[in-house]
Structures are given as C-alpha cells and as structure tokens.
Amino acid sequence: MKRVFLETYGCQMNVADSELMAGVLERAGLSLVDRPEDADAVLLNTCAIREHAEQRVLGRLGEFARLKARRPELVVGVTGCMAQHLRSRLLDHARVLDLVVGPDGYRDLPALLARAAREPVAEVRPDRDETYGDLEPRREPGVRAWVTVQRGCDRFCTYCVVPFTRGRERSRPLADLLREVRHAVEAGFREVVLLGQTVNSWHDDDHDFAGLLRAADAVEGLLRTRFTSPHPGDMSDRLIAALAECAKVCPHVHLPLQSASDPVLERMSRGYTLAQYHEVAAKLRAAIPGVALSTDIIVGFPGETADDFARTVAYLREARFDSAFLFKYSARPDTRAWRWPETVPEEEKGRRLAQLIELQHAISGELNDRWIGREVEVLVEGPARRDPGQLYGRTPQFKAVVFPNDGTPAGRLRRLRVAGATPVTLFGEAAEKNSAGAPLVHIG
Ligand code: SAH
Ligand code: SF4
Ligand code: F3S
C-alpha cells in the first residue's frame, strides 16, 4: 500500500479533515496521487447533510466498482459524515467497499488501510475526546488556510444530521490553534478561516471566540481572518465588538437564518426568533460599517405553510443579504424531523426554491452593482478559473473579483477599481494609485 487517491465532498470542515488525513498518510510514508487509476487505495471523504450528497457518493462508488473489477487489489474506502451516518450498513450495501472510517478515526488511517487490504474494516466508534490537536495537516497550496477550531455540534436542530455524524461539540485548545495559525503563515498562507459548526461557541477555559479572534489578530504576517459558521444565538456583544475592532477580521459574516417564520424556527429548534436574529444582524451592521452578510435558508421544512414561506420571502427582501445558500429540505434518518410527515410536495419545494433563487439573484446583483466605480482591496489567489489570462481574488467582504493579469503574485494585496459586476463576480481594473502592482502592507 503506497499510493492513495483522496476525494472530498461536503463542507469546509471536510476539506480541512482531508488535509488532516493527507498529513497522517504522508507521515506514514504513503503518497497522495491525483488520479484513481494510479492509486492502491481510493478514499471518498463524504457528506451526509442532504440525500443528494449521499447519492453523488454512491454514484462515484459505482465508478470505483468498475475500476476494482479490473484491479481487485484496489482498496476502496469511505470516510467522513456518510461513513458515520450509515456505519456498517455501508459495507452491506455497497459491496465494492473495503473500509468505512468515521470522522473520529483518522489518526489510525494508515493501519486501517493496511488491514482493509486483507478484510473489510469499519471504524466508526465516536470518540468525544478526539480533536486531532497535535496533528499537522498537509494543506493544499493557496493563500487561504482552513483551521478547524471546534468539532461536532450540540445544537441538534431537528433537521440536521451533523450532531449524529460528528458527535459532541469539542473545542481545540487555544495554544494548538495559535500554533497552527503561525505555521500556516510561515508556510506562506495569508488568510485563515476558523471553522466550526457553531464556531462562535468555541471556548478554552476563560477564552471565548472573541478572545481567539483577538489572539489571531496579533499573529504577524497574517493578513485576513474569516470564520464559519457562527450561530445567531452565540453572537454576543463582546464578540461583535471583537469583530469590529480586530483589523484582520474581514467584514463578512455568514449568519444562517434557515427560515423567517417563528413557528418554523421553533420546530427546527434553532433557538432564536426572527426578531432576535434581526437584532443580531442590525448590531453587526451598526458595529461594522459595510459588513457583508450571507445566510442559509431551507425551504419546504415539514409544516412550512405558504404563509411561513411568504415571511421568508419578505425577510430576504428586507435583509438584503449579499448572498444566500438556498436548500430544499431533505429528511435525514436519525434526526427528529425524520419522523415528521413531509407536508410540502417535491414540486412545491422546487417552486419555493426557484422563487428564492430568483429574488436573491436580483438582490446580489443590485448590491454588487453598487461597487462599480469604487476601489477595493483584493487578496490575489491566482489565475481565474474560466480565463487564465485574468487573475482572481477576494475583497474583504468576500466578493470574487476578476481582473487583467498584471503579474501580481498570489498572496499579494492589490488595489483595484471595480469596472463591472454580475450577481456573483466583480470585474476590476488597475486603480491609478498602485498601477505598478506594488504590494500594499495593510488592509483597510
Ligand atoms: N452549523 C451550521 C450549518 C451547517 S450545515 C449552522 O447551524 O448554521 C449547512 C446548511 O445546510 C445549513 O445551514 C442548512 O441550511 C442546510 N441543511 C442542513 N440540514 C439540512 C437538511 N436536512 N435539508 C436541507 N438543508 C439542510
Ligand atoms: Fe446542524 Fe444546527 Fe448544529 Fe448547524 S447548529 S450543525 S444546523 S445541528
Ligand atoms: Fe456534510 Fe458533514 Fe459537513 S454532513 S456539511 S461534511 S459536517
């Protein structure tokens, strides 16, 4: 067993976990390869948040089954949330599988892989003490480093599988996190994204999330700090003050709402009313001038009436989020809502989703148009995906900006004037001030 192909699905926490696994594998002498055809083992690091996410993985496993038919010695494994969610049921269902490892089993991955070459292996015991605090990830090169500060979730929103796949909430110690941030900066990363399912409930003895942000702000060489996802219920005044005062913390908050109807929020067990959510959003806007807000919404939750949905439409219009991730409710086994009859037919969910997408698209477009003519500071990430002749970066508000390739290296800050916009992208041109592409040393 020498070469491993690792493919990642799901949220940023899974991306960070894949980097953790990559570190564990490489320290054990294994190497990662870019193509499954070149691998002795293929691992899918999976997501279970919606049924669709699991179906994609099952489809991919079908492809690996064909590869394995030609090369029976190939080890096929599933890690992550779907592994934990389906546990040994996965081994029964998908006969192609040799290995199933839940999110708390990555430390022993090399040994598990070796065993799986001889017999089917499932390691899905939850370990409420495992935070991988001491393990150095092998990060994908880039300007942005993901740092998991908290694992698991204790909130048990009634639709959500995460508390069952990732177990109880655990915070990683402050000292480990600061060491990881410093290492990332030494390795050339310029931005860190602090990750947790309710990231703002992170704590270590007397230190709270506000303290963590302030400590990260003091790390020399770091340009920007982001975090995701905060829970509205944990957005204290202390934290809002820290967001406003920390120079490196970007003016962008992703604040999942889920629904703007109080009865729906109540049944979701979200722990806030619309009025309470709105108060948090208003405080953020008052404390952080120009802050960008984004959100998550679920349509078609059991019992969501036309009137409940109308409230969400009205609030989306009022709140004017910069962007929103919009989802159709997907019933997940193990959750409380799984037992509740679905009351919104699939076509109606589709209609509601389409209506929100159209509305949000228009709002994002209007908000992006307002940037035209203004100057922005972009952290350059590299060539634009669709057109390598152009460069690509993000503003502090997390707006993607595409601009002519003037040779600015990735990791530099570049001041640009916004010349055009779509609902998802800004188009930049050189601003006179630093037309030579001189790096700026601070961010405003
Ligand atoms: N911890 C974050 C959410 C993580 S999951 C928070 O509480 O805000 C990301 C998003 O997926 C959620 O915000 C929710 O909008 C969506 N989601 C979660 N479970 C879902 C389900 N069963 N069906 C549809 N969308 C779901
Ligand atoms: Fe899921 Fe709710 Fe936890 Fe977010 S806070 S991960 S939606 S249970
Ligand atoms: Fe999916 Fe697990 Fe993330 S269920 S969204 S990969 S925490």
Could you read off the pLDDT of 295-342 as tens digits, one per residue? 999 999 999 999 999 999 999 999 999 999 999 999 999 999 999 999
- CB of 84 within 6 A of ligand 1: the answer is no
- Measured from the CA of 9, which atom of ligand 3 is nearest? 6
Residue showing tokens 């092998």:
138
User: What residues contact residue 426 under an 8 Å CB cut-off, 6+ apart?
Assistant: 368, 371, 376, 395, 399, 400, 401, 402, 418, 420
Q: For 145-169, what is the mean pLDDT?
A: 97
Q: Is the pLDDT of residue 433 over 60?
A: no
From the CB of 231, is ligand 2 less than 6 Å away?
Answer: yes
Decide: 53 in ligand 2 pocket, CB within 6 A.
no
Handedness of CA 196, 336, 316, 401 (dihedral sign): positive
Label residues 134-163 b or e (16+ Cβ within 10 Å = b): eeebebeeebbbbbbbbbbbebebbbbbbb
DSSP bridge pairs for 327: 298
Taking the CA of residue 330 as reference, the ligand 1 atom at the shortest distance is 23
Could you tell me if the CB of 16 is within 6 A of ligand 3?
no
pLDDT score of 158: 98
- 3-51 per-position pLDDT tens digit: 999 999 999 999 999 999 999 999 999 999 999 999 999 999 999 999 9
Pocket test for ligand 2, best of 153, 164, 195 (most atoms within 8 A of CB): 153
Cα(192)–Cα(248) distance, integer angstroms: 10
Which residue has better confidence, 387 or 443?
387
Which domains occur in the chain, in start order?
A: 3-123 (3.40.50.12160), 139-250 (3.30.750.210), 254-369 (3.30.750.200), 375-442 (2.40.50)
**Given CA atoms 373, 378, 383, 385 in this order, what sign does their dihedral have?**
negative
The three state secondary structure string of the chain is: CCEEEEEECCCHHHHHHHHHHHHHHHHCCCEECCCHHHCCEEEEEECCCCHHHHHHHHHHHHHHHHHHHHCCCCEEEEEEHHHHHHCHHHHHHCCCCCEEECCCCHHHHHHHHHHHCCCCEEECCCCCCCCCCCCCCCCCCCCEEEEECEECCCCCCCCCCHHHHHCCCEECCHHHHHHHHHHHHHCCCCEEEEECCCHHHCEECCEEHHHHHHHHHCCCCCCEEEEECCCHHHCCHHHHHHHHHCCCECCEEECCCECCCHHHHHHHCCCCCHHHHHHHHHHHHHHCCCCEEEEEEEECCCCCCHHHHHHHHHHHHHHCCCEEEEEECCCCCCCCHHHCCCCCCHHHHHHHHHHHHHHHHHHHHHHHHCCCCCEEEEEEEEECCCCCCEEEEECCCCCEEEEECCCCCCCCEEEEEEEEECCCEEEEEECHHHCCCCCCCCCC
The arithmetic mean of pLDDT across residues 73-79, rounded, is: 96
CA of 408 to the centre of ligand 2 (A): 40
49 CA from centroid of ligand 1 (Å): 7
Task: Report how far ligand 2's centroid is from the alpha carbon of 263 (Å).
Answer: 18
- To test the pocket of ligand 2, the residue of 156, 234, 266, 267 to mutate (highest count of ligand atoms within 8 Å of its CB) is 156
Tokens of 370: 């307002």
Tell me what pLDDT residue 133 has.
85
pLDDT of residue 94: 60
**Residue 293 pLDDT > 60:** yes
Residue 162 beta carbon below 6 angstroms from any ligand 3 atom: yes
Inter-helix orientation angle 306-319/274-287, to 10°: 10
pLDDT higher than threshold 50 for residue 437: no
Radius of gyration of the chain (CA): 22
In the reported structure, the alpha carbon of residue 415 is separated from the centroid of ligand 1 by a whole-number distance in angstroms of 35
Would the CB of 165 count as within 6 Å of ligand 3?
yes
Q: With a 6 A CB cut-off, is 171 part of the ligand 1 pocket?
A: no
For residue 87, the model assigns a pLDDT of 77
Instruction: Please compute the mean of the pLDDT values over residues 177-199 and round it to a whole number.
Output: 97
The best mutation among 49, 199, 325 to test binding of ligand 3, ranked by most ligand atoms within 8 Å of the C-beta, falls on 49
Percent above pLDDT 90 for the chain: 91
Ligand 1 atom nearest to 258, measured from its CA = 15
Residue nearest to atom 5 of ligand 3 (CA): 11
Rounded to 10 degrees, what is the CA torsion of 24, 230, 261, 305?
Answer: -10
